[in-house]
Structure 1
Amino acid sequence: MSLNKQAILQDIFQNAPPLNSEDDCAENIVIPFLQRLGYTRHQIGRKVSITGTSGHRFRKQADIVVYINQRPSLVIETKRIQHRLKEEDVNQALSYAQLLEPPTSIAVLTNGRDWEVYYLDKDDIGGLEAVPEPQELESIVLGISGTAIQTEKRQAAERLLVTIENKADLEVAFRECRKELAKEGLIAESAFDELTKILTCKFNEEKRASEGLATNRFTSQWLLGSSPLIALQQMFSDAKQTFNVFPTGTQIQIRSNETVEKIVRELEPFGLYGFKTPLGLAGAGGDVVGSVYEAFLTGTLRGDLGQYLTPRQLVEFMVEIADIQIGEKVLDLSCGSGGFLIRAFVHVRKKIRSLDISKDEKDRLVSNLVTNHLWGIEINPRLATLCRINMILHGDGYEHIYTGDSIRDDFFENTDGRRTDLAAIEQNNATKFDVILINPPFNIPYEDFTSLNRYVLGRGKAAQGSDYLILERAISLLKPETGRLLVILPHGVASGVSETEVRNFMKANTYIHACISLPVGSFKPFGGSNARTCVLYLMKTPKDNKKRFLAQAERVGYDITSKYYREIDLNDLPVIAEAYYNVKQNLQ
């Protein structure tokens, strides 16, 4: 008879000391839990060193490895109880599983309260009850003992761990690439375009190698046998077939073999593509795209357009409290490189892979998610291209990523020639959106009469800010009664006298469900802005409910005093998210 694992865990928590670290979680929650399942202490390894296929020994160690007959059979990656489990954690745990000797196919990720169970050869994601008991794990091990994990996948896992461990080194590599491109006269936007092409080549080469289709040519060794520039041009020609995101006729602009050699040498050690997991692709996009953005979108391209990277911590928080459901249609009207859409994809895909339905039905739901339910519009063609690449890497599709001005335009087109009419969607409740997530360009003035006259908040004015106009358009695109909007806006909208008109417009057209104040400097590392901001959660609900959720974040998981992005452990956002869910039902 199977054990009641939830009851066991609750009992352990009742007797646990304060939990302040990963080690506290491992020693006081996870190991006692494993022992209650029937594992002996000598079967449980702590801080197990990981060595790559190249002999590289990683600084980070697997937190817990469970052994069956001296064979590593289960990897458990533990996190602080305050930590929200994220995609990078999954990538790390599955990479450890592939690089153990011999490898194992099962990995568990937990912060003590939340448990996720992953199998390298399955698309299912299990919860606490899926943690195997000793006899079950032994049968799993017997079933895989004769199965060899492909060398390419193990090498991909090693490259991915190198990247996770050395984010600072990756940023240095991007800066070095920028210097090399500058020598060719490629600066600012041109340098950004060129690095996007080069990274697309690297993505594609790692993809082909991971799938066993061809040798990875994005290596210094490969370039020795040919003209580096000709080799890169051929890689890009092949990559354009996989990533149909570049305008017709786009070519590599580098002219020097030496530049190609240096850039390939800088980027070669890092893994950007990763390998297949139940969440999609390990290592795809995310921090890599953010690093590219910070290194190359400078001055003109970022500040003048009011475009600021939305930090991962805020993206995760907003998607978490939005709690997007399977089948819901999601939109970002200023999607940038796709942060909200990627996180929404991972969030919903995790729900799908956790369902107790057939694999074919899960695949159908995931395909529908990618092809029908994730929509983005981006005014900057460079960022739109990066978003499409990011979407392909994570979910194999970008059907509804469009380029255009979501304030002025109605008709939008993607690189496949697909067109959509936003005005028509506004007139049809059935085609409107369930969830809209946006960090709009801040206060870019729109001054032309035609644009201003389209909006209640623009009529009769000489100018109106982009953030308020895009707010109005977002509200018009929400499904009646059930639609919800999460948006980052200047804090004055919540209480400032000068923003009374905007606030009254929101009250007249939505229910203000929640307001989370962010500290001054939340966007300082992402463009130098010291503006105080907030996250507003608006609902298209007919209920006249006077209750709403209010919170103030003082710490957001990164240093808000520096112009450079640097992660820190202190983060109020997960605590606020948990507090929100504790009272959510009382707000209905």
Structure 2
Amino acid sequence: MSTPIFTKTLESATRKKIDLILANLGWNTDETSPDCNVFTERAKTTEQNKKFKGKNPDYVLYKSGTDDPIGIIEAKRSGQSLRQALNQAINLYAEPLGLDIIFVTDGSIVESHDVRSKSNLKLDDQIITEFISEKQLLKFLEHGSQLYSPEKITYTKRELIKIFSEANDLLRKEGIREGIERFAEFSNLLFLKLISEIEEDRENSGEQRILEKKYCWESFYKLDPDRMLEYVNNIILPRLVNKYNHSGDVFQQNLLIKSPENLKKIVDKLSSLKLLDADSDIKGDAFEYFLKNSVSVGTDLGEYFTPRHIVKLIVDLVDPKFGDKIYDPACGTGGFLIEAFRHIKNKCKQTKENLQILKEKTVYGREISGTAKIAKMNMIIIGDGHNNIKQMDSLKNPVKGDYNVVLTNFPFSQTTDYSAFYGFNSEDANPVFLKHIIDSLDNGGIAGVVVPEGLLFDENSEYIKIRKILLETCNVVAVIKLHEFVFKPYTGQPTSILIFEKGRQTQNVWFFDVQEDGFKKTGSKLGRSPIEANDLILLRQIWKDKENSNHSFSVDFKKIVAEKYKLSMDKYRKQGKKTTDFVKLGEVCDIVIGGTPSRKDLSLYGGKNLWVKIRDMNRQMYISNTEEKITDKGVKESNVKLLPIDTLLFSFKLTIGKVAITAKELYTNEAIAGIVPKDNRVLTKYLYYLLPRLDYSTYSQRATKGKTLNKDIMRIVEIPLPSVEIQKKIIKELDAKESEKEKHLQAVAKIAEDQDKKINELI
């Protein structure tokens, strides 16, 4: 029986999606109603329609109760260019009607545009990537393309940060450990405040309360401190435990706070705020604050917290549908699941039956740590569904074909005892997590996953194996490279986003390079402030077509197979720029790693053998002496290895890229690699100038105190290798530049000396 050939998606299919979204936002799409403010393929009046000169706009939006048009929506079928749709909307419809606001969409990706500023609409410096209500559209028309939250909301956010800080101090005095434990305690009170406001809104709109008043905020916030602590522990928490803890440990039996006065102080602060007015993700703000300021969590926060604009991007690109079962095997506080829930809710008919499916049969998460209870609380706040959040080790519990969508940022560089469940031998959890994700998808399912860059290029046999499985059993739609500041200030781990569909082999992989994501490249603990430069706008525009651009290109499956299934974007971008042959460093050089004799045995130090540490590698090109020396016994009883004269020394741990050349035979510690040319194809001095200037961001791995390479990774670093004659010419030119640089440095040093001398004369 032949395989049926299906027809292409029509523009009308996209319009059906738009109609639902607009209705959910409060627009009236019933053109038989006098209150209709959305007209399709025509303007409202004959006079307006004439201005289109026979062309038909997809949607014209109107101010309610008037004939005044306020916006255009241009809908294109899936696969058509959004940029083309935008130009069409401006020239054919917006300009003839004198309109300023335009939305273009293919049914999944939405782009907003303001004709006046020729830019996207923005709210609080974040680009608008969805349709908006009439009320909000009118605000943009009045105030321009950039809106900020009302002062009330901005003030509330400032107050929240202040309360987080004060609560953190009070909880520290209670002896509660910093980070997740302290945040979990604060979350109990945040939950009570939020759920109480939600119940109040329900009651005011005529809906039935789910949680009775006697268990809400208004029942205890005015009590004296002793009575308040007693009421929360004896009345409220037992009720919450009884109502929600059947699905696991969501609420504790008693607060960890023991001081009634401390509880009263936190409650009084929260009582003055209306949290629902502040932000749709108050828990996210609190979670970020408590962990960002935690010393013990430190750089591991990148495993817990995915920036919200990246979460929204991945959800938009994957575009989960109503009826999908969505899974996050490392859900943390539930960020991906919450965004997916909202994404689907905005696009489906909000009947009682549909909402029941959304709450009970749509989102599923697992989390090995105690943050699972925070995810459960978050699910309760957005509409329940907490029963599907489980605290467990996902890798210990394989899943086979249960889900249509997987969205996750799994923790990197972890170890696991369960790799054998997935056909692997190593304790390294990175490839195992990716296999768990592939296995959990049903055929035809789609995943959006943040992965460490090393998983995409490392020649470790387990990494090659998982890439082979991925490419042969799934269609890798895209690899989106993120710059190293995306997860700052928590971690500088190089990462990429993988988008793949299970069920058929990859034919081509589309790569996109996010060099700017709309936020300043900084590691400041204060966070990354918004900027104009944002490659995510282009990514959204060309997503359906997967166009080639200055940021993107496609690579054929056969080429990827020939490169050991590597999916690192830089691997293929370099090939397009080569003006000379590239080789792996390990092909032309031996790489020798040093060691450190035991510091407990003083007899190993103080000898005559030169022993180099990074501190010895200052500005001098050649090393002929060292700060410390080791004895013959130190050589014999350690892992140090003798390096010959004319060896390049290269620092590769924590401080990457310091170089020097050995002028005598010597030894090094384990943070320095000796790079010894195997033959006459490469000159040591050429490597001296070359290696410090290479970009190691896609090769480096995260360590406790910073970035690091290792011997195996250094072997696969690719270097340009011109002929020896050309190498000699390069060395001659760079030697001249080095002499010139030295003269300038000496001149600068002389100026600094003169300045110091002048000041010393005064004092």
TM-score, reference length from structure 1: 0.64
Aligned residue identity for 1:328: D
Deviations 1:326-380 (A, max 9, x none): 1111100000000110111111111113xxxxx6xx2212211221121100001
Contact 1:162 1:271 in 2 (8 A): no
Rate the CA distance shift 1:332–1:253 in 2: closer, same or farther, 3 A.
same
- What displacement does 1:496 show? 4.7
Cα distance in 2, alignment partners of residues 247 and 176 from structure 1: 24
Cα distance in 1, alignment partners of residues 476 and 485 from structure 2: 24
Q: Secondary structure at the match of 1:483?
A: strand
Whether 1:506 and 2:506 are equivalent positions in the alignment is no
Cα distance in 1, alignment partners of residues 127 and 154 from structure 2: 8
Contact 2:471 2:505 in 1 (8 A): no
Q: Secondary structure at the match of 1:376?
A: strand
Q: Which residue of 1 aligns with 2:169?
A: 179
- What displacement does 1:539 show? 1.3
- What displacement does 1:558 show? 3.2
- What displacement does 1:483 show? 1.2
Cα distance in 2, alignment partners of residues 308 and 575 from structure 1: 28
Aligned residue identity for 2:367: E
Rate the CA distance shift 1:329–1:220 in 2: closer, same or farther, 3 A.
closer
- What displacement does 1:85 show? 8.5
Rate the CA distance shift 1:229–1:160 in 2: closer, same or farther, 3 A.
farther
More RCO (CA 8 Å, sep 6+): 1
Aligned residue identity for 2:404: D
Whether 1:332 and 2:325 are equivalent positions in the alignment is no
- What displacement does 1:37 show? 5.9
Whether 1:557 and 2:518 are equivalent positions in the alignment is yes
Rate the CA distance shift 1:534–1:8 in 2: closer, same or farther, 3 A.
farther
Root-mean-square deviation over aligned CA pairs: 4.3
Cα distance in 1, alignment partners of residues 447 and 113 from structure 2: 33
Pick from 486, 494, 509 the counterpart of residue 522 of structure 1: 486
Whether 1:386 and 2:374 are equivalent positions in the alignment is yes
Pick from 54, 63, 67 the counterpart of residue 38 of structure 1: 67
Pick from 398, 401, 414 the counterpart of residue 444 of structure 1: 414
Cα distance in 2, alignment partners of residues 347 and 497 from structure 1: 38
Rate the CA distance shift 1:35–1:206 in 2: closer, same or farther, 3 A.
closer
Q: How many corresponding residue pairs?
A: 433
Cα distance in 2, alignment partners of residues 162 and 219 from structure 1: 26
- What displacement does 1:506 show? 1.8
- What displacement does 1:243 show? 4.5
Rate the CA distance shift 1:226–1:299 in 2: closer, same or farther, 3 A.
closer
Deviations 1:269-310 (A, max 9, x none): 333356xxxxxxx955x2432432431473445756872301
Contact 1:219 1:264 in 2 (8 A): no
Aligned residue identity for 1:508: E
Rate the CA distance shift 1:199–1:455 in 2: closer, same or farther, 3 A.
same
- What displacement does 1:254 show? 1.6
Rate the CA distance shift 1:365–1:183 in 2: closer, same or farther, 3 A.
same
The correspondence of residues 156-235 of structure 1 with structure 2, limited to 5 A, is 162-163=152-153, 165-188=155-178, 189-212=180-203, 214=213, 217=217, 222-224=222-224, 227-233=227-233, 234-235=235-236
Q: Which residue of 2 aligns with 1:144?
A: none
Q: Secondary structure at the match of 1:520?
A: coil
The correspondence of residues 90-109 of structure 1 with structure 2, limited to 5 A, is 107-109=135-137
Q: Secondary structure at the match of 2:160?
A: helix
Q: Which residue of 1 aligns with 2:308?
A: 312
The correspondence of residues 236-247 of structure 1 with structure 2, limited to 5 A, is 236-241=237-242, 243-244=244-245, 246=249
Cα distance in 2, alignment partners of residues 307 and 218 from structure 1: 37
Contact 2:244 2:250 in 1 (8 A): no
Rate the CA distance shift 1:182–1:392 in 2: closer, same or farther, 3 A.
same
Contact 2:367 2:390 in 1 (8 A): yes
Contiguous gaps of at least 5 residues in structure 2 = 1-30, 52-58, 71-111, 142-148, 204-211, 548-552, 555-763
Rate the CA distance shift 1:221–1:363 in 2: closer, same or farther, 3 A.
closer
Contact 1:162 1:270 in 2 (8 A): no
Deviations 1:492-526 (A, max 9, x none): 3444545544422321222211011101121122x
Contact 1:479 1:540 in 2 (8 A): yes
Q: Secondary structure at the match of 2:386?
A: coil
Deviations 1:113-169 (A, max 9, x none): 9xxxxxxxxxxxxxxxxxxxxxxxxxxxxxxxxxxxxxxxxxxxxx99844554243
Q: Which residue of 2 aligns with 1:468?
A: 431
Whether 1:478 and 2:448 are equivalent positions in the alignment is no
- What displacement does 1:563 show? 3.7
Cα distance in 1, alignment partners of residues 276 and 357 from structure 2: 23
Q: Which residue of 2 aligns with 1:573?
A: 536
Q: Which residue of 2 aligns with 1:377?
A: 366
Pick from 252, 263, 268 the counterpart of residue 266 of structure 2: 263
Q: Secondary structure at the match of 2:340?
A: helix
Q: Secondary structure at the match of 2:382?
A: helix
Pick from 290, 311, 324 the counterpart of residue 295 of structure 1: 290
Cα distance in 1, alignment partners of residues 324 and 123 from structure 2: 23
Q: Which residue of 2 aligns with 1:253?
A: 256
Contact 2:473 2:504 in 1 (8 A): no
- What displacement does 1:318 show? 0.3
Rate the CA distance shift 1:342–1:542 in 2: closer, same or farther, 3 A.
same
Q: Which residue of 1 aligns with 2:699?
A: none
Whether 1:403 and 2:403 are equivalent positions in the alignment is no
Cα distance in 1, alignment partners of residues 383 and 395 from structure 2: 28
Aligned residue identity for 2:272: P
Q: Secondary structure at the match of 1:479?
A: strand
Cα distance in 1, alignment partners of residues 243 and 154 from structure 2: 25
Cα distance in 2, alignment partners of residues 372 and 479 from structure 1: 16
Q: Which has the larger radius of gyration?
A: 2
Q: Secondary structure at the match of 1:186?
A: coil
Rate the CA distance shift 1:196–1:567 in 2: closer, same or farther, 3 A.
same
Cα distance in 1, alignment partners of residues 160 and 128 from structure 2: 18
Aligned residue identity for 2:507: N
- What displacement does 1:551 show? 1.1
Contact 2:481 2:497 in 1 (8 A): yes
Q: Secondary structure at the match of 2:467?
A: helix
